[in-house]
Amino acid sequence: MTSFAMQDVSTDDSSTNGVEMQGIEKHFGNVIALAGVSFDVQPSECHCLLGDNGAGKSTFIKTMSGVHKPTTGKMFVDGDEVLFNSPRDAMTAGIATVYQDLAMIPLMSVTRNFWMGREPVRRIGPFKFMDFEKANSITMAEMKKMGINLREPDQAVGTLSGGERQTVAIARAVFFGAKVLILDEPTSALGVRQTANVLATIDRVRKDGIGVVFITHNVRHAMAVGDRFTVLNRGKTLGTAKRGEITPDELQDLMAGGQEMAELEGSLGGTV
């Protein structure tokens, strides 16, 4: 049986910093998508949540980010209990989510995508206009901080690589005040070089004091930047280990249901 260090989850209804989820359940009728999930992420930490397809990762993301209300359980932000009624509530609390689809418009410029819905304005008499000079300057500066040197701010997002588009989305969330950043499979469709760029961005963000929840099914990518690792299986967390407490093979084994496979192999006489 795989050795796995279990996290001691506090039950005093408090957490000093970051975001904590205690005993979260989410039911959809008779279907239990999350069955008592406990998880936390601290400032300057990358906490990786790993799980195979159907493990409950999507429901976890939507519950943490305010899309779904938990059926039972509690959630805390910087020690204060919260109940989000919408994703806007989560964003106001400093929890930002970067989804796989990135919610970007390919034919629009990087600047337009960066500022979408939050454009800086300037006034000329009674009229308001987008302050393109300010928007372009900040966009270029923020992307440079993330290691991306744009040719020009009006470059179409569709001309960027997948990794660069991920970086635009991350930079946008950080600039608008994210304290905790939830990244939904950010490396799943990227090549080796683009993946390395995104992992470097995650490391850069973490060092700036932001907590990162890295949702992935790729153990190698998680081990590259993770400080802690939690495995989700069938809506339950199997435990949490710190870096150095678990090997990549052990993580992979837990994700794949290694104990169940071992029991099945034994019942079939080693023919699996």
User: 65 and 26 in contact (C-beta within 8 Å)?
Assistant: no
Helix (H) or strand (E) holding 181: strand 180-184
- Strand, coil or helix: 55: coil
- CA gap 82, 76 in Å, rounded: 6
Query: Among 18, 31, 27, which Cα is nearest to 75's?
Result: 18
Rounded to 5°, the CA angle 220-221-225 comes to: 115
Tokens of 35: 């069955």
Name the average pLDDT for the chain. Answer: 86
Q: Is the pLDDT of residue 5 over 80?
A: no
Top pLDDT among 248 and 263 is at: 248
Query: Among 5, 6, 42, 7, which Cα is nearest to 244's?
Result: 5
Task: Give the total residue count for the chain.
Answer: 272
Q: Is the pLDDT of residue 261 over 70?
A: no
Q: Is the pLDDT of residue 266 over 80?
A: no
Residues 205-260 pLDDT 10s:
999 999 999 999 899 999 999 999 999 988 999 889 999 999 999 988 888 765 55
- CA gap 188, 190 in Å, rounded: 6
What CATH number matches the domain at 19-104+185-267, 2.60.40.1930, 3.40.50.300, 1.10.10.10, 3.40.50.2020?
3.40.50.300
**Residue 7: per-residue pLDDT:** 43
Tokens of 247: 């090997």
Residues 136-160 pLDDT 10s:
999 999 999 998 888 888 999 999 9
Q: In whole angstroms, how far apart are CA 59 and each of 226, 228, 259?
A: 21, 20, 24
Tokens of 128: 């308001």
Q: Is the pLDDT of residue 8 over 70?
A: no
- The residue ranges of every structural domain in the chain are 19-104+185-267
Query: Among 192, 186, 215, which Cα is nearest to 102's?
Result: 186
